[in-house]
Amino acid sequence: MPPILLAVDKTYPKGLMWFRRDLRVDDNAALYQALRACRQVVCVFVFDRAILDSLPRVDRRVEFIRESLVELDAELRSLGGGLIIRHAVAEDEIGQLARTLDVQAVFANRDDEPDALARDAKVLGALANGGVAFHTYKDHSVFERDEVLTQAGQPYTVFTPYKRAWLSKVDTFYLKPYPVRSYADALAPVPEKFKGPVPPLAEIGFEKSNLDQLEIPTGSQGGAALFDDFFQRIDRYHQTRDFPSVRGPSYLGVHLRFGTVSIRQLAGIAHQLTLQGDPGAGTWLSELIWRDFYFQILAHHPYVAAGGESRSFRPEYDKIQWHHGKHADMLFEAWCKGRTGYPLVDAAMAQINQTGYMHNRLRMVVASFLCKDLGIDWRRGERYFAGHLNDFELSSNNGGWQWASSSGCDAQPYFRIFNPVTQSERFDPEGKFIRRYLPQLAKLSNAHIHAPWTAKPLELVAAGVKLGETYPKPIVDHAEARDRTLQRYAVVKR
């Protein structure tokens, strides 16, 4: 944790707080440090064109950010400050804004994604040329970078020993909140020339999505409401988390992604409950630790998520010859559109396409299906998720896909191949999830909804299902695909 600055004799007359993936006031590390170090703090958020210009014009994540900024701006104003909103290339805008505002330092919370690091390096250079300091702080994880290492001083590549080391190190020091409001008197109002409301989506080139209809709560208040709801059932999380038709998950992924909740608060509560013997909280805490684990994997091994040149964590897996060409493209399109003929896979893809969310168990099922039933490169699925998930987190998304394809650190063995039918029977036994997203199969019996091709013709007619018309036939035979996968992966062992 960064050193605490003394309250007296503040270091800078004026500072700039640059909000990024930390859209909240409370327990915000960089905001706290800025308020402690500066007599006046001006706050800014930049709709970064370097990111936004590459996105489709309808994107739930942009709308989530915009709505969260409305709340953040109002909260800062209630404390005597406010939020400057810019729509520009951030690496250019921050330096220019620092000069215009005549600040001596810029404060931000760290982001270890490769593109963010490259952006921050350029910002650092531009600010340094103007004699402006650039301070960054840990805020997105409990432990980052080199904070949890092996006894030999190396980063962990296996989760279980990492988790043990994480738990042995964590204490109240690492989980205590930053008391931002105690120093809020240093917040400065928005200068006159920058005053104005948070711009509507159209002003930054976007259209409204279905975020309102999905009733996804935004901002700190939305994150707090979701956690309050989850807290009432966290003790059952270990029992409910794998069943997509049950309200088991916390649904806080998008809030963690954009920092509308504090990871210290969530981990602190989960850790305390775990110490009290709560099995559900212990399971959830383990998943928060997985998140830290993947962050440090990306920090130490950035090649795993290097855009179009991403490589397998385990280099030998880059020898695999994935299925490619027109037929592979056709299979990939069927997977994307939820037209594989395997109901659980198709329902899961319908969920992500319609809502931007996919249940965690289903992320594993559809990833395994793409790589090990269809033989398609995991990177194609990784990119699809990156474009569609509201809670897309580069490190976790990459880690999850490499886990499913067996190419990553501490991944499932290459010969572990999920059977989409047995997964469906086990985790959606009554077909409730399938019926929700594939209503054309709703009248099938529980016995056949997981594999409609096994139903007798009369049952299909009674259910109004015409295989190949109202619902596709399976695009691959799972048993045959499994054999091909074992042959494909054999190259790894040669």
Equal CATH topology for 141-178+220-300 and 307-493: no
- The confidence score (pLDDT) of residue 494 equals 57
pLDDT computed for residue 128 by the predictor? 97
What is the structure's pLDDT at 310? 85
| Structural domain 141-178+220-300, CATH architecture | Alpha Horseshoe (1.25)
- Check if 469 is active-site: no
pLDDT value at residue 251: 98
* Residue 474, pLDDT score: 98
Please determine, for residue 156, whether its predicted confidence score (pLDDT) is greater than 70: yes
> What confidence tier does 117 reach under pLDDT thresholds 50, 70, 90?
very high
Asked: is 1-140 a CATH 3.40.50.620 domain? The reply is yes
Can 322 be counted among the known catalytic residues?
yes
| Catalytic status, residue 398 | no
- Among the options 144, 147, 353, 360, which is catalytic? 360
- 335 in active site: no
pLDDT in tens, 286-322: 999 999 999 999 999 999 987 667 899 998 999 999 9
The single-letter code of the amino acid at 232 is Q
Per CATH, the architecture of 307-493 is what?
A: Orthogonal Bundle (1.10)
Q: Which residue in the list 18, 284, 335, 401 is annotated as catalytic?
A: 401
Q: How far is CA 348 from CA 87, 137, 331, 383, in A?
A: 35, 37, 16, 17
290/160 Cα distance (integer angstroms): 10
pLDDT at 75 over 70: yes
Q: Is 378 a catalytic residue?
A: yes
Q: Which of 287, 353, 425, 446 is catalytic?
A: 287
Q: Is the pLDDT of residue 244 over 90?
A: yes
Confidence of residue 414 (pLDDT cuts 50, 70, 90): confident
Structure confidence at residue 481 (pLDDT): 95
For residue 400, the model assigns a pLDDT of: 95
Domain ranges of the chain: 1-140, 141-178+220-300, 307-493
From the list 322, 446, 453, 459, the catalytic residue is 322
Question: How far is 69 from 23, CA to CA, in rounded Å?
Answer: 7
| Per-residue pLDDT at 485 exceeds 90 | yes
Query: Is the predicted pLDDT of residue 242 greater than 60, yes or no?
Result: yes
pLDDT of 70 above 80: yes
On the question of pLDDT at 189 being above 60, the answer is yes
Q: Mean pLDDT across the chain, nearest whole number?
A: 96
**Catalytic-residue membership of 290:** yes
- Written as six digits, the tokens of 288 are 């928060």
- C-alpha 348/C-alpha 52 separation (Å) is 27
**397-414: average pLDDT:** 90
Kindly name the residue from 290, 393, 397, 398 that is annotated as catalytic. Answer: 290
At 411, the pLDDT band (50, 70, 90 cuts) reads: confident
* 145-177 residues labelled b (16+ CB within 10 A) or e (exposed): eebbbeeeeebbbebeebbebbeeebeeebbee
What's the pLDDT score for residue 2? 45
Which of 75, 378, 393, 397 is catalytic? The answer is: 378
Contact 254, 216 (CB under 8 A): yes
Q: Yes or no: say if 264 and 270 are a contact pair by the CB < 8 Å rule.
A: no
Residues 6 or more apart from 186 whose CB is under 8 A from it? 10, 34, 35, 38, 39, 40, 41
| Residue 30 pLDDT greater than 90, yes or no | yes
